[in-house]
Amino acid sequence: MSQKTRVAARIREIRKQRSLTQEALAERIDRSVDAISGLERGLALPSFETLEKLAQALDVPLRDFFDTDERESPERAGMIAALLVHARGLSDADLAVAVAQIAILTKPGRAK
């Protein structure tokens, strides 16, 4: 999967996690709905300026759009983006619990 496709999946998933429509996001960053749709489908590459506006509008660090493994499917990239969005909203105590739970799920020898 291309980096463009992975970035597209991340933008779409983070937008959905924020419960924003494409229309609402387009309005927040002063772009058209067609532009947002094209970005989310990987048909267009966002400029750096657009990426900065997306990060600000979605309240995520810019790196969240790129923090993916090239072998990830768009679905997996989206789930990881969702996990990051949720994790950032947790208190430190709740984040510690979540990390402990994920550690259990990833423990070597656990049935998958």
* Residue 75 maps to a domain: yes
Classify 59 in phi/psi space as left (phi over 0), alpha (psi -120 to 50) or beta: left
Per-residue burial over 43-58, b = 16 or more CB atoms within 10 Å of its CB, e = otherwise: ebebeeebbebbbebb
* Residue 111 maps to a domain: no
Number of domains in the chain: 1
State residue 82's pLDDT score: 81
Residue found under tokens 């768009």: 74
pTM of the model: 0.67
> What CATH number does residue 29 fall under?
1.10.260.40
pLDDT in tens, 42-93: 998 889 999 999 999 999 888 888 866 667 777 787 788 788 888 988 999 9
Helix boundaries (H) for the chain: 3-17, 22-29, 33-40, 48-58, 74-88, 92-105
Distances (CA, A) of 83 to 24, 28, 37: 22, 23, 23
* Residue 90 maps to a domain: yes
